[in-house]
Structure 1
Amino acid sequence: MRYIIIGAGAIGATLGGRLAESGGDVVLVARGAHAAALKADGLHLTTADGTRVHRLPVVEAPAELGGLRPDDVLLLAVKTQHAAAALDVWGAAEVAGGGTAAQRLPVVCAQNGVESERLALRRFDRVYGACVWLPSTFLEPGAVSALCAPLTGMVHLGRYPRGTDRVVRRIAEDLGGAGFEAPVVEDVMAWKYDKLLTNLANAVQATTGPEPHPAKALLVARAVAEARAAFAAAGVVPVGEAERAAAARETRIVPPPGLRGGSSWQSLRRGTGSVEADYLNGEISLLGRLHGVPTPVNDTLRHAANIFARESLPPGSMSVEDLTALADEAAARGRAVS
């Protein structure tokens, strides 16, 4: 298998770099200054073992590869707001022997949230979900760090919408040999919905900073409570407490001490102009609107994070008191309307 890592950011570059270290055939897909740095100086990947430089093939579009191979696996790691465009470009790429990637190749969705798999299945015959637990940092072009030890991260894998097969077991085997826990599960989306609950904090961290604070924890708890109510109304069943606790007990992933900004905070730091809040807090807003569940906190968090991205506001420059006040105002408006 050859892995085409579409989106060589914090997650994609770490997966690609570690796969390459274990002997895997890897191509990185990036754009702009990051692509230029990867081509000129290689991928500088820092893990608990130190920093290594990987000089891997780097492309910005399928044409640069001169055609895809029948044994290619497309690993989609762009943020969800960029997923549809990437799926369109790579899905239309021709595969040696005939047909397109969308017709012949598997695509693995390694984003936060639960929307990318749905986007992919509109285009691709074979779609797989990957629930990625991989604390990593990408702030400068060409450099990524992922400092968990002794394993770098955990990736639950399964076919979408559910099931397993030979391909996903092979991918899990390759990731297992590259320093990841890679359980193959029957219902990968149950794990992704569970992780979505933790990602609701991303907007709080992006707007008010990564430092822990009781008021931030309370705001996140309110967002999670809304999500659980929306899940219940929609019939969504994440993995249970017992299953999650068992995975936590058995994991060999120990994060390093110290503060770390999450993916949305990092997007603001890099000035990308967008964050994935529409597909994190916005997923809860969507379910709430579909099923009549009020979601004022998630509505507020989504709106605030998007303003920060559009207006290039410094991450962490809003007080948690101001953010909470906005959520309270949204809740009061909702009660007045009802």
Structure 2
Amino acid sequence: MKFAVVGAGAIGGYLGAKLARAGEDVTFIARNRNLEAIRANGFKLILEDGSEEHAPTAKAVQHMAEAGPQDVVLLTVKAHQVGDLLPDLRELFGPHTMVVTMINGIPWWYFHKLPGAHEGMGLESVDPGGRLAAAIEPERIIGSVVYPAAELVEPGVVRLIEGNRFTLGELDGSRSERIAGLSEVMMRAGFKAPVSKDIRSELWVKLWGNLSFNPISALTHATLEDICRFPPTRALASRMMTEAQSVAEALGVRFKISLEQRIAGAEGVGAHKTSMLQDVEHGRALELEALVGSVVELGRITGTPTPTIEAMYAATSLLGRTLASQQGHLRVEAPVQK
């Protein structure tokens, strides 16, 4: 299969490197030093045990038109970055190109092919004006939930922290020939790639933690372990998750694990900084709308109160706005010993 990886960062690099090593035709869409490194050396993957794998056949281009139509487009950028890819993204589309959205949070396509009162509805929080829905046909889309953790340690080099599971799902819940084929290709590359009949419920289980732990960590500069072991913030996360569960259940979602199991899972990760805290520390735009603002919007759509989530959304939104306006970053550091 021909794969274009749009977003040659940690997760995109991990996927692309493994697929290239399995013999697939992989092209990264990259920029600057990352582009130069991949062109010169391919992509390198450092595994959990410290061993290394090299994908010398991986290609990289700056402009999507250089790559041309693909069989599969892996969208591994952050949710708020997808709009910036339009209209160039369509340069990667052929008649049967699949677009796999490997993005955290509530996706813009959430109500597409979902029978019920809200079928086809757009979400302003994640797709203002419906630009994404207009540019990317829902027939192309494959949903995905990303479970691994990885980091881009230098241009063209990714370190895998843990995990190899990427759940896939058609928007209508079917097990199509194309998704079965994609799953098989990903499994040959070394991933777990189960096909879900209910990709939205899978999305909510991951979002359950992201919508609470990410903004709490961004505001407190605490790790997952610290948030879960400090009773006031554990209770705060629980309130946010309880409100989110009510929203999801109003949309027909059913959770297969309990709230306490989800919190325990986060605590078990240990002293890990969430992606939103890392963005605060590096002065990057916060992935707030897909993780939090979308849940506030869904609460309004379903008539479900979300007062705690709304309060956290307001505070974190102002933090993001302040950092952006000052072009700054915020980090808690121990004093230098003299």
Tell me, yes or no, whether TM beats 0.5.
Answer: yes
Q: 1:186 to 1:26 in 2, by over 3 A?
A: same
* 2:18 and 2:55 in contact (8 A); partners too: no
* 2:200 and 2:253 in contact (8 A); partners too: no
Amino acid at match of 2:201: A
Q: 1:269 to 1:74 in 2, by over 3 A?
A: same
State the partner residue of 1:189. Answer: 200
CA deviations on 1:117-137 (whole Å, 9 max, x unpaired) are 356654223211011111222
Task: Note the aligned Cα RMSD (angstroms).
Answer: 3.0
**Partner-residue secondary structure (3-state), 1:180:** coil
State the partner residue of 2:52. Answer: 51
Amino acid at match of 2:142: Y
Distance 2:252 2:332 in 1: 32
Are positions 1:62 and 2:76 aligned together?
no
For residue 147 of structure 1, the aligned residue among 161, 175, 180 is 161
* 2:21 and 2:54 in contact (8 A); partners too: no
Distance 1:35 1:207 in 2: 34
Are positions 1:107 and 2:99 aligned together?
yes
**Partner-residue secondary structure (3-state), 1:221:** helix
Moved over 6 A (4+): none
**Partner-residue secondary structure (3-state), 2:152:** strand
Distance 2:30 2:311 in 1: 32
State the partner residue of 1:128. Answer: 142
Distance 1:207 1:34 in 2: 31
* 2:102 and 2:146 in contact (8 A); partners too: yes
Distance 2:242 2:220 in 1: 20
* 1:157 and 1:182 in contact (8 A); partners too: yes
Sequence identity, in percent? Answer: 28
Q: CA deviation at 1:186?
A: 1.4
Structure 1: gaps spanning 5 or more residues: 95-99, 246-255, 318-338
Distance 1:34 1:301 in 2: 35
Q: CA deviation at 1:292?
A: 3.2
State the partner residue of 2:275. Answer: 263
**Partner-residue secondary structure (3-state), 1:111:** coil
Q: 1:110 to 1:238 in 2, by over 3 A?
A: farther
Q: What's the TM-score once normalised by structure 1's chain length?
A: 0.76
**Partner-residue secondary structure (3-state), 1:280:** helix
Matches within 5 A, 1:161-310: 161-200=172-211, 201-211=213-223, 212-213=226-227, 214=230, 215-232=232-249, 234-241=250-257, 259-272=271-284, 274-306=285-317, 307-308=319-320, 310=324
How many residues are paired up?
Answer: 293
Q: What's the TM-score once normalised by structure 2's chain length?
A: 0.76
Q: CA deviation at 1:295?
A: 2.2
State the partner residue of 1:76. Answer: 75
Q: CA deviation at 1:74?
A: 0.7
Q: 1:206 to 1:219 in 2, by over 3 A?
A: same
